Structure 1
Amino acid sequence: MSSVNVTGDSALPPAAGYRGRFAPSPTGPLHPGSMLAAFGSWLLARHAGGQWLVRIEDVDGPREVAGAAAAQLATLAAFGLHPDEPVHYQSRRHALYRAAVGQLLQQGKAFHCHCSRADLAGQQGIHRHCVARPPRPQPAIRLRVADGSEVAFDDGLQGRFAQAVDRDVGDFVLLRADGCWAYQLAVVVDDAGQGISDVVRGADLLDSTPRQILLQRALGLPTPRYLHLPLLLDAQGGKLSKSLAAQPVDAADPLPTLRWLWRALGQPAAALEGTVTLPELLERAVAAFQPQRLRRESIKADGTPFP
């Protein structure tokens, strides 16, 4: 059986050159951690002379905050980060996810599963065979992960990363029992559908990448290059996005935040000195950006000045 058509548009031309993206979930306003990923991905795309896209990952209805997507897009615009194509919304792409799962089910690469988290507690949450009794009214759908499924890849910043997906993750969910599409499926289908050549995102998603590569192989889809940027941490060393310290960025005054993010990405502060307008700052940033200076380590966003 041929691989699934994930574009949803037969007139869409094949991707050429660098195509990056920023894909926030509409669960709240953009904070410095999410803006670090946005600005970093934008800079890498512009440095490569490529395209930068925005996708709203809004398939998890229970977690979505009303108005958050519009607010996020408004913040990106206020920071001068404009996508090169119309914004994609995952909530409008359900048919493509159904087609992908249908292909996997037909090929025996996915299966219906009635196991709950409680059922899998004795296996540390890792599914290797179904243990549920009795069946649930609406089962989940999982990818069948073969024994010995180790995936390794070379991250553009973090280096070599390998994961034994069968032992560390197990058969992972594609469609949840509550009817929501799982992140792993939606992101794989959409990255292929948008012709994304380079995925730049936070290092908290590094260990999701082997699952996505395994799923790309199962669907016959290309694997993009990956680069995982450092995380911003609070004063206690926790992920900033999960902290009360994760205040929204100030869209009314973006220049101080952009200068801070520029330094957080390991770039020389002097390159942006004297800039007083947003277009001037962004133009200078693109001209002065040095990917080899990107920081690998997580950063404490506690007000400590950068060297």
Structure 2
Amino acid sequence: MFKETFQRYLTMVEQSLAQLPWDKDSLNESMYYSLIGGGKRIRPVLALASAEAVGGHLQDILPAALSLELIHTYSLIHDDLPAMDNDDYRRGRLSNHKVFGEAQAILAGDALLTYAFELLATPGLGRPERQLRVIREVAVAAGKAGMVGGQVADVAGEGKTLNLDEIEKIHKAKTGALLTVSARLGGILAGGTEPQVEALTEYAQALGLAFQIKDDILDVVGDSETIGKPVGSDLRQGKSTYPSLLGLEGAERQMHTQIQKAQSALKPFGTGATFLNELAYYIEQRQH
């Protein structure tokens, strides 16, 4: 049942992304190249599943869910740049800057970010007060207090030995903030109660940390062909990670603890959050 539901969400996201208006010019080609280049679509899927968990209708929040993937893709384009992680491959294909050049890659990322907020401001996207709340929350999660701030801290930590608290703080901002706001977005726009939104928040915060710990683990033991990008980049860049501090077994235990915490947060939903519960297990078991 999980695979079927995941595929239902995934198909909706993929088809809708492809159907966005794309002009035939070099900027749109660059944006489209990275956006349609595969990926797990965890963020929009999480938003859609959260909306259904509180009894909402998927079509009502779809533009907002798509915006999360645009923001995520922009961040990946910029992460791969020589000044950042300097990765030549992403999702099994050449990184954006290797195909279109650094300047175009930077501009494509900028355009995806601003396009995301155009989608978030789509007229009629739920009640105005809910829509305004979501726009602000996404801006905070993607900006200096969230994803960008986490990336800054991550770069600043290269070549330094960080403790677990410092690593967790980076992960919660760099990866966790956007995952958390994905769940909140779905819950808020779909009319969830405040207790429901808070339960989704607790779930997604733990899920986001588990997701990043898994990324750290895969960077050590993963297969580059399966992952779609080079492995061992954390070690080459001198980054402190959960495996480097705790060892692989310790990192696995820490990830499992977060998965259990995420699943426990869903108890108020009962069977209404079956997919979200199984999504946590999927995150723990993923190989890419």
TM-score category, normalised to shorter length: under 0.3
Higher CA-based Rg: 1
Higher normalized helix content (fraction of residues):
2
